Amino acid sequence: MVSRVRPALLDIIADVPISRAIPDSEVFVDTTATLRASPDAAVPTLRQIQRIVRGRPTSDGAGVKLTRVIGQPDLDMIDPFLMLDEFRSDSAGDYIAGFPEHPHRGFETVTYMLAGRMRHGDNQGNSGLLTPGSVQWMTAGRGILHSEMPEQENGLMWGFQLWVNLPAKDKMTAPRYQDIAPEAIPETSPVAGATVRVIAGSLNGVAGPVSGIATEPVYFDVRLQAGAAVELPLPATHNGFAYVYQGQARIGEGASEQLVRGDLGVLGKGDGLKITTGDAPARLIVVAGKPLNEPVAKYGPFVMNTPQQIVQAVEDFRAGRF
């Protein structure tokens, strides 16, 4: 069950300037895992779509307009995935204010750029530039203050940010980055008409550059030509989703489901995924991860296991201990 928890100490939080906040700004404690996958259960070979979710327009940071797909009322989370945002605009007013310095603790952020340039920096002296096709996998761990600011004044800004939960044992680990240049992300073509960028996980003997992640993620960027069909292996133990960001694609076989641009399909159990296209090409991300099956306490940029840990995170932030 999901319960809303307001201990008296959470009054402290009310005054914290949180720039990446969950819309209703409350602490949630989720004592269940969303769509748990059991490794011992008999599973079908190919996964089907359990449900289709559309993202909701919102704004974050200093007013950046985006679409929140995971982490909104229609889809709170898919264990271990806490949030998925798509940001896409060629109007500078929608993104130019960026995401000024803000804190994180207890999870990982994954930024994947499709178009545009974003500069990131943190309170530990790290800095880098995200360019089209690049990925940043940031493990916030025990706490970090960072910013993400556009390094352009016009043109298209397009990409995704995914939040991945950390297991309880790793929530207070030291922060770290994996900054991955476009040329370091391998591509493979498992069948004619299909090209896959392998960001995390492996496909067709090709391993993605992201490593050392507790949830053993799979992150594929799939491009299909018109009339193509491909089957992708996914660990049967993992929860996952497919999100179409160009065109439309059909997921599954038999009672398959059609996803159009902006649709997220929550995947059922199985050890593979079949994707087909009709008379137009499509692009989609396919993401899967090992569920943690742990309680989740969330407040804005802090994701822990108990309300008391959330209070401690806020106190540490206010005291400058990040």
Could you tell me if 137 and 219 are in contact, meaning their C-beta atoms sit under 8 angstroms apart?
A: no
What's the CA gap between 28 and 307, in Å, rounded? 8
Residue 308: strand, helix, or coil: helix
Q: How big is the CA angle at 284 (ends 282 and 288), to the nearest 5 degrees?
A: 150
| Residue 242: C-alpha distances to residues 114, 135, 165, 175, 179 (Å) | 17, 18, 18, 28, 24
Closest CA to 160 of 220, 101, 204: 220
| Residue 250: C-alpha distances to residues 46, 48, 224, 308 (Å) | 13, 10, 11, 44
CATH number at residue 33: 2.60.120.10
Tokens 């600011």, residue located = 149
pLDDT in tens, the chain (322 residues): 333 333 333 443 444 443 333 333 445 555 444 443 334 444 458 999 999 999 999 999 999 999 999 999 999 999 999 999 999 999 999 999 999 999 999 999 999 999 999 999 999 888 999 999 999 999 999 999 999 999 999 999 999 999 999 999 999 999 999 999 999 999 999 999 999 999 999 999 999 999 999 999 999 999 999 999 999 999 999 999 999 999 999 999 887 899 999 999 999 999 999 999 999 999 999 999 999 999 999 999 999 999 999 999 999 999 999 9
Spatial CB neighbours of 305, under 8 Å, sequence gap ≥ 6: 168, 171, 294, 295, 296, 297
**Domain that residue 166 falls in:** 2-318
Number of domains forming the structure of the chain: 1
First to last CA, the chain: 31
